[in-house]
Structure 1
Amino acid sequence: MKILFTTIFDYPHTGGLSTHVTTLKAGLMELGHATEVLSFSDIPQATQRFTVQGPSFLLNRLQSGKGFVWSQKRRQELLKSLLKERGNTFDLVNAQDVFAALAAKSLGLPTVLTAHGYMAREALSKGAILPDSPEEQTLIDVEKQAYTRADAIVTVDKRIQEYIQELAQRQAHAIKNFINVQDFKPDKANKKEIKKHLNLDSFEFILFVPRRLTQKNGVILPVKALPEVLKHHPSTCLVYAGDGEEMTTLKSTAQEQQVTSQVRFLGAVPHEQMKDYFSAADVVLIPSIHSAGVEEATSIAALEAMGSGTPVIAGAVGGLREIISDHQDGLLVRERDIQALAEAIVTLLADSVLREKLATQARQKIEAEYSHLTAAKRYLAVYDTVRKT
């Protein structure tokens, strides 16, 4: 089978969607199938700048959110043009967002839509649109239309599956996120060398936050918890890998907390380099929260940490509760509870036996349930239902 992955966003880019596509492609190719990707990155830079990004900026100056919605629709039009030029040289389109799905369906192409989240709610959460605005209603309508028109829908957790059922009365297939278990595997034997290579060897403990710096990811919580952690483990460094609109707030909070010397902001880190940071880390923090109705899905970063043999502390929300069994293969803490997060970190750093137990059982779970090959087989079963219709 030949599968074309499509998205109105850039590919590759730093983020879960891009990682999902890359990992699924690898699984499908190992099983003997051909894959390609068509994305916004295939649009010439000049066209991106002058027909999407520039006008979007100006429209947002006139009315908050107007440019955002306009740019999504413009990206859909450009992707549709690329699809039309490509011609029907593939068996199926696997769209990674609702606008990409509508672009494919407008050309009559067999389309599976993978829903990674709640588009309208996430736009609200990051401040791209305003609550109760015409733009919010437009995005909800677009979601409903895409879910109705797609030949099949896959969601990355059960909550998104339930959301689509409620919004569009469509039954979706829930296939949780996954990782390449050969790429992300324990490498603790080389931990000292890796820490030295990353210039982190002056610290006894490393706390790693592999998150896009956005509100729903709860990234402000670790830096607020750090002073309490340092009382018990003063040689600890908090490392953020990711960028986003919360960067300025995080840096100012670190200054207010007087912990700037023990916080590192790496910005966006290429995915292939992330495995070194997981190996260097003693604890990975995924402190997600509810934000404007948005919940964390089955976090790829959490899965990669678990596969790498590094214990995870996560917010007890959304898909994180599906992939982590509290005190068996990770720790779950109440969302937004800074004290609970600090206590969990202090406990783990003080107990190497517990860290090893959680890491070992997490790796076993990843191998059994979250392999990219297992996920590829599940996707192929969905693809087959579309090809037979």
Structure 2
Amino acid sequence: MKILLVSQDNSEKLNIGGKHIHQNLLIAAWRKQGHEVRTIFPRPQKITMPIWTRIIFRISRTWSTFPVFFFKKYLRKIKNELIHNLHQSMTDFSPDLISAQDPMAAVACSAALQPHKGALPRIALTLHGYYTWEMINYGYYGEHNKPTIEKIGFELEREALEKANSVITVDSRIRDYLQTQHGFTEPVDVIFNAINIEPFQQPINQEVMHLQKRLAPNGEKIILIARRLVLKNGVHVAISAIALLIPLKKNIRLIVVGDGPESFNLQSQAKTLGIESYIDFIGNIDHSDIHNYYRAADILLMPSIPSDGIEEATSLSMLEGMAAGKLVICSAIGGMKEIIIHKKNGYLVKSNNPQNLSELLNDLLETPPDQLDEVCTQARQFAFDNHDYNSHARKILSKMSQN
């Protein structure tokens, strides 16, 4: 089968976020299963403003039309580039199916198909999150810009839902969002995310042991957060929880892997709380190198919070922590609460509650490791049995192909 995967995000150039990883695993699995896959991504772009505009914008944030104007220009540029490349692929590739990985991709695909005659490929839309609200949450727009950004995003979402032949979401709440926000009543398939389990099937090697020694030279328990540093991922909650543990003389170290707009605020928070010596901010690491950090850690944290209407979906960090056989702690929100069974294959805590998180961490640190082995074993087996990317790709293709 010929499959065209189209996305607003170029995962060939950037392999950090969950959506990038999902796309790359899907492509690899389909090709391994004998399908011919072509990708259409835009060139990496940023919302760019002339230097004089940036100076004015910094001086006066009330000039709200500037960021919105350039945001619209950025979206138009991506859409036009996708449409141009799609026209070429329709001629020389003739796909059987199109996998659109976001609303922008679905809208561009529909526009590109209009001039073509005969049997056209189905467009299957996959929603990895809350497209509009994530644009707001990840961006630097002032409160006065949010209604305009929301209007642009919702229009794109509605058009994508109208044009798509089938829709997949990665958790139940995103499916419900389509109904409540857009009145979408067509069938939606919920297919939880998947990971590459192969790196976690290998025995612990010297490289992992050296990493453990480097991260925790004094034998500290390693608590790992591997997230993009945006508000919804709740890293500030974890820092506050660690601050509550320090007076209890716990031998711990918080390792934060990732970067994002909250990086400066989080490092400032750690300094203000006087715990910067207990936290290492590593920055971005390519996903191909992150597995050793999971395997070196003792505890994985996903302290996500609801933000701008967003709740964490089926976190890849959660699934990879489970596959590594580690103690995984997640906020009881979104797709995570659909996967984690408390005290069976991981732990759930109240969202945005440092006290609750610190109490659970303290309990786990005080519990003999052999009494926690069963939870780690169940987590690992659950990830292996239910979230391998090869079976996941077959399931998605089956849903995409249904009329």
Normalising by the residue count of structure 1, what TM-score does the alignment of the two structures yield?
0.90
| Matches of 2:130 and 2:69, distance apart in 1 | 19
Aligned residue number for residue 93 of structure 1: 98
Aligned residue number for residue 4 of structure 1: 4
Aligned residue number for residue 117 of structure 1: 129
| Matches of 1:74 and 1:334, distance apart in 2 | 41
Report how far residue 139 of structure 1 moved. 1.2
Q: 1:198-257, CA deviations, whole angstroms, 9 ceiling, x for partnerless residues?
A: 543334210100110000110111111112223345431111111111000111011011
2:31 and 2:37 in contact (8 A); partners too: yes
Aligned residue number for residue 177 of structure 2: 163
Report how far residue 299 of structure 1 moved. 0.5
| Matches of 1:358 and 1:56, distance apart in 2 | 54
Say whether 1:213 aligns with 2:229. yes
Aligned residue number for residue 317 of structure 1: 333
Kindly tell me: are residues 331 and 136 of structure 1, through their superposed partners in 2, closer, same or farther at Cα, counting changes over 3 Å?
same
Kindly tell me: are residues 183 and 22 of structure 1, through their superposed partners in 2, closer, same or farther at Cα, counting changes over 3 Å?
farther
| Structure 1 runs, 4 residues or longer, greater than 6 Å off | none
| Matches of 1:315 and 1:355, distance apart in 2 | 19
Aligned residue number for residue 26 of structure 1: 28
| Matches of 1:66 and 1:321, distance apart in 2 | 39
2:136 and 2:149 in contact (8 A); partners too: no
Out of 363, 369, 381, the residue aligned to residue 380 of structure 2 is: 363
Query: Which AA in structure 1 matches 2:227?
Result: R
Out of 26, 35, 38, the residue aligned to residue 40 of structure 2 is: 38
Aligned residue number for residue 342 of structure 2: 326
Query: Which AA in structure 2 matches 1:330?
Result: G
Kindly tell me: are residues 217 and 53 of structure 1, through their superposed partners in 2, closer, same or farther at Cα, counting changes over 3 Å?
same
Out of 274, 288, 291, the residue aligned to residue 307 of structure 2 is: 291
Out of 288, 293, 304, the residue aligned to residue 277 of structure 1 is: 293
Number of residue equivalences: 378
Kindly tell me: are residues 143 and 187 of structure 1, through their superposed partners in 2, closer, same or farther at Cα, counting changes over 3 Å?
same
| Matches of 2:130 and 2:165, distance apart in 1 | 19
1:7 and 1:38 in contact (8 A); partners too: yes
1:207 and 1:282 in contact (8 A); partners too: yes
Q: 1:327-346, CA deviations, whole angstroms, 9 ceiling, x for partnerless residues?
A: 11111000011011111112
Report how far residue 300 of structure 1 moved. 0.7
Out of 148, 154, 158, the residue aligned to residue 140 of structure 1 is: 154
Which is further off, 125-134 or 266-275? 125-134
1:56 and 1:68 in contact (8 A); partners too: no
Alignment of 1:96-107 (within 5 A): 96-107=101-112
| Matches of 1:32 and 1:328, distance apart in 2 | 37
Say whether 1:53 aligns with 2:51. no
Report how far residue 149 of structure 1 moved. 0.7
Report how far residue 355 of structure 1 moved. 3.3
| Matches of 2:371 and 2:123, distance apart in 1 | 46
Query: Which AA in structure 1 matches 2:314?
Result: T
Say whether 1:372 aligns with 2:372. no
Find the residue that maps to 2:291 and give its secondary structure.
helix
Report how far residue 347 of structure 1 moved. 1.5
Kindly tell me: are residues 232 and 187 of structure 1, through their superposed partners in 2, closer, same or farther at Cα, counting changes over 3 Å?
farther
Query: Superposition RMSD on alpha carbons, in Å?
Result: 2.3
Query: Which AA in structure 2 matches 1:318?
Result: G
Query: Which AA in structure 1 matches 2:258?
Result: G
